[in-house]
Structure 1
Amino acid sequence: MSRMPMLCPETACEQGAPTLKAIRGQLGMLPNFFAGLANHGAALNGYLAFEESLSEHSRLTAAQREMISLAIANANGCHYCVSGHTLSAKHVGVDAEAARQAQQGQATDPVDQAILDFALDVLEQRGHLPDESLNAARQMGLDDAALVEITSWVGLNSYSNWVNNLIQPKIDFPEVPLID
């Protein structure tokens, strides 16, 4: 049972209600993450605006973004997000084994591995990366714009992980376990 109310368009504030209605219309359901985040309508709308802007202007593939999401969710201990992003990853062509590997910060493609290494370094070091980490990422072809974008995905995903860890919503996707 979640530790905060799961809101719907009928119970959310005037900022959150239209957003929840749009999400339900787009997805055919209202994921509990959004229903919980709607406890503060501006937080819901701000999260979605940031995610939309990053996605719209991303230089990373959808699969790379989902692999980052899986690695960060697992590192942050967010069972809800690991489950949700495993499903999302499947929809963009990441198979179950690659999703499990991504949870552990591993990828078969060298560039994808460099992305995951950098993302996890950003999380673990809270952005205080040594020059060696930047140089290693750059040597794999990641330019400064990509490094800032990856850092942005780490921040956005960590935010959603923390909200879910706080609220503890019921997982409304096929459950996928965290990996130690």
Structure 2
Amino acid sequence: MRAVAGHQGFLPAPVARLASSPELLDGFLKISAIFESTTLDPLSRETVVMAIATRNDCHVCVAMHTAKLTGLGASAELIAALREQRELPDERLEAVRQFTLAAVATSGAVADSDMDAFLAHGYTPRNALEVVLGIGAYTMSTLANRLTGAPIDPQLAHFA
């Protein structure tokens, strides 16, 4: 928790709530750090996260990752489309969003056409597995945040 607080400049309420299960918090922090180290570019990773956060209706994750997208220089149009679960203005990011949703909807048994559409936008089979890693990390986070009723921290309120 100290490392998160040092990195963020404050201890996010969701992290504090997840800490009531040190194993869950440790697992999430490790798997999310591994996801951050994948070959997916930062905007593609954030697209995966926002697809899961909006699908699972995790207002805390949506606010936190809106802040992260803003910090990455994402356009307001891209952020709004992600938050509203609508087609993205960037075809490549839309391909990763659609692939993420297809992987969840089919429990990983994506149709060949879904995989082909993903690969046609410059992604690789490795990236497809990295999407699965992101789905796992952020499914854990979104469900835990909802279960604990994690509030949005004042520092993130304007991203809510």
TM-score for both structures, normalised by structure 2: 0.90
Asked if the contact 1:105/1:116 (under 8 Å) is kept, the reply is: no
In 1, Cα distance between equivalents of 2:66 and 2:150: 17
Number of residue pairs aligned between Structure 1 and Structure 2: 157
1:159 deviates by: 1.2
Code of the aligned partner of 1:63: L
In 2, Cα distance between equivalents of 1:113 and 1:31: 29
Which of 93, 98, 119 in structure 2 is aligned with 1:138? 119
> Which structure 2 segments of 5+ residues have no match?
none
Question: Quick check: which one's helix share is greater?
Answer: 2
**What is the correspondence of 1:90-169 to structure 2 with a 5 Å cutoff?**
90-103=70-83, 104-169=85-150
Which of 15, 22, 26 in structure 1 is aligned with 2:3? 22
Q: Which residue of 2 aligns with 1:65?
A: 45
Asked if the contact 1:80/1:171 (under 8 Å) is kept, the reply is: yes
In 1, Cα distance between equivalents of 2:2 and 2:159: 27
Listed one character per residue, the Cα deviations across residues 116-166 of structure 1 (whole Å, up to 9, x for unaligned) are 110111122221212221122222222110100112112211111101111
In 2, Cα distance between equivalents of 1:171 and 1:54: 23
Code of the aligned partner of 2:23: A
Pair 107,121 (structure 1): closer, same or farther in 2 beyond 3 Å? same
1:33 deviates by: 1.3
In 2, Cα distance between equivalents of 1:140 and 1:61: 13
Q: CA RMSD in A?
A: 1.6
In 2, Cα distance between equivalents of 1:105 and 1:154: 19
Asked if the contact 2:78/2:90 (under 8 Å) is kept, the reply is: no
Pair 46,59 (structure 1): closer, same or farther in 2 beyond 3 Å? same
In 2, Cα distance between equivalents of 1:90 and 1:176: 9
Which of 82, 95, 110 in structure 1 is aligned with 2:62? 82
Larger Rg: 1
1:45 matched to 2:26? The reply is yes
In 2, Cα distance between equivalents of 1:105 and 1:128: 23
Instruction: Give the secondary structure class of the aligned counterpart of 1:101.
Output: helix
Instruction: Give the secondary structure class of the aligned counterpart of 1:174.
Output: helix
1:175 deviates by: 5.3
Query: Greater RCO between the two (CA within 8 Å, min separation 6)?
Result: 2
Listed one character per residue, the Cα deviations across residues 57-92 of structure 1 (whole Å, up to 9, x for unaligned) are x22221221122112111111111111111111011
Moved over 3 A (4+): none
Asked if the contact 1:23/1:30 (under 8 Å) is kept, the reply is: yes
Code of the aligned partner of 1:174: A
Code of the aligned partner of 2:55: A
